[in-house]
Amino acid sequence: MKQKNFVGTFKQHYTSNFHFTFPIATKMKLKPLTLLCLFSAPLAAYAQTTPPIVGSQPTTFTMSSGTERTAEQLAVSFENADLSLRIDPSKQSIEGVAVLQFVAKSSVARLVLELDKNLPIDAVSVNGTALAPDAINNPEGRVYLTLPQSLKTGDKAEVKISYHGQPRIAQRAPWDGGFVWSKTTAGEPWIASAVQGEGCDLFWPCIDHPMGKPKRMSTHFTVPAPLVVAGNGVAQGVDEKDGWRTYHWTIKQPSTYGISVNVGPYTLMEGGYQSRFGNQIPLRFWHLNGNEAKAKELFAEFTPTLDFFESVIGPYPFADEKMGVVETPHLGMEHQTVNAYGNGYKKSPHGYDWLLNHEFAHEWFGNQMTNENWDDFWLHEGFASYMQPLYLQYLRGERDYQVAMHEQRLRIVNHFPMVTGHSMSEHDVSNGPGNDVYFKGSHILHTLRGQIGDDAFFKAVRLLVYGRLDPKPGNFAPRYSTSKEFIQFVNQVTKKDWNWFFKTYLTHATLPELVQERRGNVLHLHWKTPDNSVFPLPVEVRVDQKLHKLEMKNGVGQIVLPANATWTVDPGSKVLKHEPQLEVWTQDMMQRRK
């Protein structure tokens, strides 16, 4: 699925986080513009790809997550999901039984779910009554189940779905969703799923929408012994029979694409973190045998990473479950409480593992706070991306913060608005703003923080994440949010109207331009916006060695320049704005690629 107009996919940043490359990505392949791409195949040294068993491809509907929910889906509350999967590496197949519990919020005559039609449904029952074949319909990946009798408000429905088949194989996870059937260098099965862009329906029947979370979920994954399953949530034990092992897990309010399959010859590294909020957080890392020394180094990063996030944002949202990481045959993904890690244990020049940091940020921005639909996806990726420079500021200081921000600035494309104001699917965002939701989102937050100060900024962030200013373990739950709500929080904590700020940055493709003109001994500045609206964003000007802040009332400002004075506008790079030299550089990179 090629991206439009030089726009990369959501996970483009995985391929070159800072190594002076500017890759152009598609979901199927990536072409770096220089020869310095150090991350394009991070696991090639110790992983083998199992020859795929080729099956039918999912429909366009299935391959795009977040299509608007039907009236029937809106009419029920998704209370519980219990998923059993038997995973057979030799056949690259699964056999599944999903028991889903719903409560009707209004009268409803049928239930609607999503499941790839290439996973045949063997049987369905509702409250113990088997449905006739003609009551089960799955033409394009949306499953319609006609109920034996309509549910009235308050009625409960337990739906049991048995199915089987070969789930879609990801050609290049995580950019391309599905299962990864790999092997370690010792020839042992090494299996993972990554379905952010395509959704949970690639391997289990679900409501494939950001707001389709069940309140609770249990998983029971059966694999050939002695393989190990690293799961979401809290381990509930393991059974073994006839050469197969079943691992049991329970999860609270899991994100829909955050449920994952991770199978391999793992060794478990365990520890604990004493939180500043008084609770103890379990630390778990499943790594491949033979990687113990490198795994210990990565595991040592868990504690400072947790300390940073808890100090600047607030309590780890899933402290009563775990902070979990699992080594995977693909680069990575923010799977709730068991983040996928495949960065090959490479540290950046900043001295930390950027992938660990980015995916862990999603426990707050994505799993605790989830966007109501994909149109607000920058709330996940923009915040998670901004956490990396912030962590470097915490860890190393101002130089590393500024370097990291500049690295991100080089990747802003400005071809589509960040937010449209209407419901979007993943496909819409991928083929629209693409990677701008990461890096432009990060720079919007950088600019906002510089304008309103740390106290107000982090108060607004806490309201976004927790819905309250005083989060403590046990006094908050996962929540949904929108760009509109975040703007309201910013207005609330600053007691000012910032709608003009977000309107310009989020709803227009191009950036505001700060026009500079010297007339005589006066430097005149004014903001030029795509819709010619007033943009009164203050800006700093350094004249000789003195720093001045221009308030830019009505988007206009001026400053007197002494004779022979030198000056620099925005010397601290605090403001996201149109920068023509970067456009020249970007065009040059595009020409070199041709």
Mean pLDDT for 560-566 is: 94
**pLDDT given at position 50:** 58
- Summarize the confidence of residues 376-393 as an average pLDDT: 98
Place of tokens 């609330």: 492
Predicted pLDDT at 1: 31
* pLDDT at res. 29: 28
Q: Indicate whether 20 pLDDT > 60.
A: no
pLDDT of residue 88: 98
The DSSP output letter for 323 is E
| Amino acid at site 216 | R
Write down the pTM of the prediction: 0.92
| Out of 275-289, 414-428, 532-546, least confident range | 414-428
> What is the Cα–Cα distance from 333 to 340, expressed in whole angstroms?
5
pLDDT band at 585 (very low <50, low <70, confident <90, very high): confident
Residues 6+ apart with CB under 8 A from 196: 10, 11, 65, 174, 177, 257, 333, 334, 426
* Residue 246 phi, psi (nearest 5): -120, 120
Residue 574 CA: distances (Å) to CA of 443, 444, 520: 9, 10, 27
pLDDT at 593: 76
Q: Report the pLDDT averaged over residues 414-434.
A: 92
Angle 274-257-352 (CA atoms, 0-180°, nearest 5)?
45
Per-residue pLDDT averaged across 241-251, rounded? Answer: 98
User: CA–CA separation, 447 vs 435, rounded Å?
Assistant: 18
Interhelix angle 354-361/302-312, nearest 10 degrees: 40
> Would the pLDDT of 31 be above 70?
no
Report the alpha-carbon distance of residue 243 to residue 112 in Å, rounded: 37
- Please check the confidence at residue 8 and state whether its pLDDT lies above 80: no
Give φ, ψ of 190 to 5 degrees: -140, 110
pLDDT band at 282; cut points 50, 70, 90? very high
- Mean pLDDT, residues 69-86: 98
Say what percent of the chain tops pLDDT 90: 86
Q: Is pLDDT above 90 for 53?
A: no
Q: Which of 52-56, 144-148, 306-310, 311-315 is least confident?
A: 52-56
Task: Give the per-residue pLDDT at 591.
Answer: 79
Q: Using CA of residue 400, residue 10, residue 315, residue 341, what is the dihedral sign?
A: negative
pLDDT (average), residues 304-321:
98
Q: What is the mean pLDDT of the chain?
A: 91
The answer to whether the Cα torsion of 330, 332, 335, 340 is positive or negative is positive
pLDDT in tens, 118-168: 999 999 999 999 999 999 999 999 999 999 999 999 999 999 999 999 999
Summarize pLDDT for 443-502 with one digit per residue, the tens. Answer: 999 999 999 999 999 999 999 999 999 999 999 999 999 999 999 999 999 999 999 999
Indicate whether 11 pLDDT > 60: no
Six-digit token string for 348: 């950046």
Asked if residue 336 lies in contact with residue 251, where contact means CB atoms within 8 angstroms, the answer is yes
